[in-house]
Amino acid sequence: MKDPRIEREIARRRTFAIISHPDAGKTTLTEKLLLYSGVIQSAGLVKNRKGRLAKSDWMGMEQARGISITSSAMQFPYKGQMINVLDTPGHQDFSEDTYRTLTAADSAIMVLDAGKGVEAQTRKLFEVCRLRGIPILTFINKLDMPGRDPLELMAELEEALGIQACAFNWPIGSGREFRGVVDRREQELLLFTKTAAAGAQKSQIERFPIDDPRFEERLGAQTAEKVRDELELLEVAGNAFEEKAFLEGRITPTFFGSALTNFGLEPFFDTFVELAPSPYPRPVDLAEGGEGELDPNSPFSAFVFKIQANMDRRHRDCVAFMRICSGRFEPDMTVRHHRLGKEVRLTRPHSVVATERNTLEEAFAGDVVGVISRDLYHIGDTLSLEGGFDHKPLPFFQPELFARIAPVATSLRKRFDKGMRNLVAEGAVQVVWPESGPDQTLIGAVGKLQFEVLQYRLDDEYGVKTDLHYLPYECSAWLEDDGEGFQAPTTSLLAKDKRGRRVVLFQSIWDKRTAERMNPDHRLLDIA
């Protein structure tokens, strides 16, 4: 029998990821959501002249560079709903972390730069959302800066991503002339007033109907006529919003605004919590074979999508972040750990906002909960009360760079080994061991910045300086089968990963294609 209270709590949840190309303003948008929810009283901008740091960026290197390197999971209430926001890295070198985080989301906010439109990393992240069927809302940011024509941006959004766009609001001016937006659903003009705090405080909004005489008085005859012409064009040629199409990922509600100045943010947040879906049934692999769906109102289950070491430097802990997929969670509950095949107790559960932890008394489907790991959990682990299924495995992506890494001082080998174990468990890099030749451990990454972060964290968190030597391999692939009889090009290297799967390292894409032609009976996989 379903518990009405659990159903109500699950219906309140909104669990979403924020995706964008680097520097589109996604972390600033996250910060302002905290401001408008009342969690913080003053927004600490990423590149604030006074030196404030973004609330969602906790790592020293993130704060120094003003970029997001790891995914942040934060929970807080907003106007009657419970928000779980997953702020993901925008840089392509950390796409694996972003991809895994998207498996924990029920919807996504896609942030575009009004001056640049759809960029390369945006396309990649959008495709992951499309593959998962995740509903997407689009926020076109930086209207306070010189940018492209809004109609041109809408057209590019549709053409580049193959999705219909429906403008929920429309900007009044741009750059220094950006004054507000028209709410198309309510047929209201929203004029914003800049605050003296330069975006650190909520902006003031003045609202009145677009047929009010003040519309032309405030905007001027020329601007008012231009806006009315654009609104009329949208009514005739624009896409009508359909909830079913949105939930199926075929249409994206689109909003214009400025995260820096707060123009257009509160109406966007309010519409988001109205439209974004609460937790819905998730596909699972059944123990007896085949696939099924897990209703969010079923007994407790969750999967681990992220592991983060050293969020608390004093205790050198390792936090496993799990997405609750069904039921109710309570502290110290005993659940089945599917991979280990044993019962475990979930102790010291908490939610996180940056480095600040809040102990949880309970949580529900849709929530993200952090538990102390102590080497007990791996990325992708399923936990449940009743068992009989596994949540879908999380993907591992083909490394494109490989290197050897070792401590500068051999006396620090133990610290180095501990740091590497923790950071590999996070998925910061992948490790492989050659099947022949010297006994050595190689590390692989999607991008060079991952290696820089690895070295930084080994030094900063474990006190170990390292030497890193790049290897001449630029792509790789997993063998779908055991690889018996596989003929590798002489320039390639056969190895095994930590799961025991055979992986081939190639010095060029040409070598990889040659290997495919030489071995028609073996499949090479870029995702495992």
In 79-234, the DSSP E strands lie at 81-87, 107-113, 136-141, 164-167, 169-172, 180-183, 188-193, 204-209
Confidence of residue 62 (pLDDT cuts 50, 70, 90): very low
The model's pLDDT over 109-128, given as tens digits with 9 standing for 90+, comes to 999 999 999 987 788 788 87
Give the angle subtended at the CA of 463 by the CAs of 460 and 464, to the nearest 5°.
105
Class for the domain spanning 4-171+240-275? alpha beta
Please give the pLDDT value at position 511.
94
| DSSP 3-state of 12 | helix
C-alpha dist (Å) from residue 226 to 155, 223, 521: 19, 5, 63
| DSSP 3-state of 426 | helix
- Judge whether 276 and 16 are in contact, CB under 8 Å: yes
How many helices and strands, by DSSP H and E, does the chain display?
13, 32
The model's pLDDT over 511-528, given as tens digits with 9 standing for 90+, comes to 999 999 999 999 998 877
Q: What does the domain layout of the chain look like in residue ranges?
A: 4-171+240-275, 282-391, 401-525
- Look at 233 and 397; give whichever has higher pLDDT: 233
Please give the pLDDT value at position 372.
81
Class for the domain spanning 401-525? alpha beta
Confidence of residue 316 (pLDDT cuts 50, 70, 90): low
What is the pTM for the complete model shown?
Answer: 0.82
The model's pLDDT over 19-44, given as tens digits with 9 standing for 90+, comes to 888 788 888 888 888 888 887 766 65
Token output for 334? 């005993």
| CATH architecture type of domain 282-391 | Beta Barrel (2.40)
Please give the pLDDT value at position 445.
87
